[in-house]
């Protein structure tokens, strides 16, 4: 029996692998990647490497073994059917008779179109009969802080989220939660709603950036249709525009502000605040 992580060279996947290697021997961990070369550093650490592609179903044939624990990290390819990609992994896990299939989805409360593929994936997992854990990852701090360069260039956070609040958490915290269910006991057939310990508003986000940089950063709320036009004129692909604006509308409605405490309980410590991720992002920009 081993632990298999899909999307292992992505942002979240690498953090999961790092966390796993602190808890289990490297030869018990398999990293599923599209390009072997990108995983060379993982191979050097003793991690097993398997090359497979969500878009090529046959590459998953025989990849899993009976008794494996598998983490399906959701696809980031917004222009494709992520559900179809995910189903390839679910079908392979069912055929192999894995001991556990954990999936990184999103908040049950999220109604934006971003959640559609997650809902469909969760249903096919439930229908599969495979022991599962559904990890409802609310929102990543990094979804916001990766925009800091643009925010600093314009001096404003331009969004369609009104006064809504977000209970986001860092990728590192979400990785720790995934590892907790992969290495712990008693998580089978459970659903966790994973958000940060505190919810923040975009006005507070802008103010924190200003506090850390010594610059005046404003939060400029705009209607959803106005943001759609702005992003479209900037050349952002249509599906991405719809996703971004849809999430903002959901934030305004409070769909990502529910405080459950599941994440801090799973990782055994308080979640990291958004201010820490802002500081890390600013340091990265300086470097």
Tell me the pLDDT tens digit for each residue of 80-124.
578 999 999 999 999 999 999 999 999 999 999 889 999 999 999
CATH at residue 37? 3.40.50.720
Based on the structure, what is the number of domains in the chain?
A: 1
Considering the domain boundaries, does residue 223 fall inside one? no
Average pLDDT over residues 266-277: 98
Domain span at residue 25?
A: 3-139+169-195+260-272
Considering the domain boundaries, does residue 64 fall inside one? yes
Considering the domain boundaries, does residue 92 fall inside one? yes
Is residue 195 within 8 A of residue 138, CB to CB? The reply is yes
25-71 tens-digit pLDDT: 999 999 999 999 999 999 999 999 999 999 999 999 999 999 999 99
Considering the domain boundaries, does residue 154 fall inside one? no
Considering the domain boundaries, does residue 211 fall inside one? no
Q: Is the pLDDT of residue 77 over 90?
A: no
Considering the domain boundaries, does residue 180 fall inside one? yes
155 burial type by CB count under 10 A (0-12 exposed, 13-18 middle, 19+ buried): middle
Considering the domain boundaries, does residue 240 fall inside one? no
Average pLDDT over residues 208-215: 98
pTM metric for this prediction: 0.96
Considering the domain boundaries, does residue 268 fall inside one? yes
141-181 tens-digit pLDDT: 999 999 999 999 999 999 999 999 999 999 999 999 999 99
């Amino acid at each position: 029996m081993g632990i298999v992580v899909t999307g292992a060279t992505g942002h979240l996947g690498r953090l999961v692998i790092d966390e796993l290697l602190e808890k289990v021997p490297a030869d018990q961990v398999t990293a599923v990647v599209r390009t072997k070369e990108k995983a060379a550093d993982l191979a050097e650490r003793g991690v097993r490497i398997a090359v497979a592609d969500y878009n090529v179903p046959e590459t998953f044939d025989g990849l899993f073994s009976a008794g494996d624990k598998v983490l399906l990290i959701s696809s980031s390819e917004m222009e494709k059917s992520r559900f179809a990609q995910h189903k390839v992994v679910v079908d392979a896990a069912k055929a192999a008779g894995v001991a556990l299939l954990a999936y990184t989805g999103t908040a049950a409360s999220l109604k934006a179109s971003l959640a559609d593929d997650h809902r469909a994936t969760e249903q096919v997992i439930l229908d599969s009969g495979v022991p599962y854990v559904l990890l409802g990852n609310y929102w990543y701090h990094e979804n916001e802080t990766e925009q800091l360069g643009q925010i600093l260039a314009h001096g404003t956070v331009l969004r369609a989220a009104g006064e809504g609040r977000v209970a986001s958490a860092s990728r590192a915290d979400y990785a720790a939660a995934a590892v907790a269910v992969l290495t712990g006991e008693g998580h089978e057939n459970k659903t966790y709603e994973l958000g940060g310990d505190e919810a923040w508003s975009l006005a507070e986000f802008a103010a924190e950036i200003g506090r850390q940089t010594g610059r005046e950063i404003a939060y400029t709320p705009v209607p959803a249709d106005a943001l759609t036009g702005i992003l479209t004129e900037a050349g952002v692909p249509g599906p991405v525009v719809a996703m971004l604006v849809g999430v903002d509308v959901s934030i305004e409605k409070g769909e990502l502000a529910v405080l459950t405490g599941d994440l801090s309980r799973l990782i055994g410590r308080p979640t990291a605040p958004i201010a820490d991720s802002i500081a890390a992002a600013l340091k990265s920009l300086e470097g």
